[in-house]
């Protein structure tokens, strides 16, 4: 897999976090849109990224998530990682329920980034 830049990696992380519970809630979609607006102030075609994500099987999510977490880590400061983790927490709480799967992936992200 080709290394992604921080913004693309963040998109992959958020999309997996928002889908891992089997449901992509509208509230989660709004937060992903907010992330995209902040990270890509210019129009960006993410069709290829969305296709990659759509083709992933659930058993592939963890490896894909870990890969993009490392990509994000490589291109970010600790402050950016802390801010992203907080945003990710907001995302998984957006539909007013946090599933075990969402919590597991969120904890995985924090562990990969050595965040308390």
What are 21-74's pLDDT values in tens digits? 888 889 999 999 999 999 887 777 888 998 999 999 999 999 999 999 999 999
Q: Are residues 65 and 44 in contact, defined by beta-carbon separation less than 8 angstroms? A: no
Radius of gyration of the chain (CA): 13
At CA 32, angle to CA 30 and CA 38, rounded to 5? 105
The predicted pLDDT at position 23 comes to 87
Place of tokens 């969402």: 102
Q: Tell me the mean pLDDT in the region 64-86.
A: 97
Residue partners of 1: CB distance under 8 A and separation at least 6: 64, 67
pTM of the model: 0.93
Query: In whole angstroms, what is the distance from residue 21 CA to residue 4 CA?
Result: 24
Q: How far are the Cα atoms of 18, 99, 100 from residue 8, in angstroms, in the given order? A: 15, 25, 25
The CATH number fitting domain 6-112, selected from 1.10.287, 1.10.1200, 1.10.3470, 1.10.3680 = 1.10.3680
Percent of the chain with pLDDT over 70: 100
pLDDT at residue number 106: 97
The angle subtended at Cα 92 by Cα 26 and Cα 82, nearest 5°, is: 125
Average pLDDT, integer, range 95-114: 96
Please answer whether residues 25 and 8 qualify as being in contact, where contact means their C-beta atoms are separated by less than 8 angstroms. Answer: no
Question: What DSSP designation does 3 have?
Answer: P
């Amino acid at each position: 897999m080709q290394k992604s830049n921080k913004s693309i990696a963040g998109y992959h992380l958020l999309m997996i976090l928002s889908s891992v519970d089997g449901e992509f809630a509208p509230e989660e979609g709004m937060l992903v849109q907010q992330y995209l607006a902040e990270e890509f102030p210019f129009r960006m075609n993410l069709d290829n990224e969305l296709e990659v994500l759509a083709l992933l099987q659930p058993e592939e999510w963890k490896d894909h998530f870990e890969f993009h977490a490392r990509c994000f880590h490589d291109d970010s400061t600790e402050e950016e990682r802390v801010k992203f983790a907080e945003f990710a927490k907001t995302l998984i709480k957006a539909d007013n329920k946090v599933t075990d799967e969402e919590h597991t992936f969120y904890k995985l992200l924090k562990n990969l980034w050595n965040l308390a």
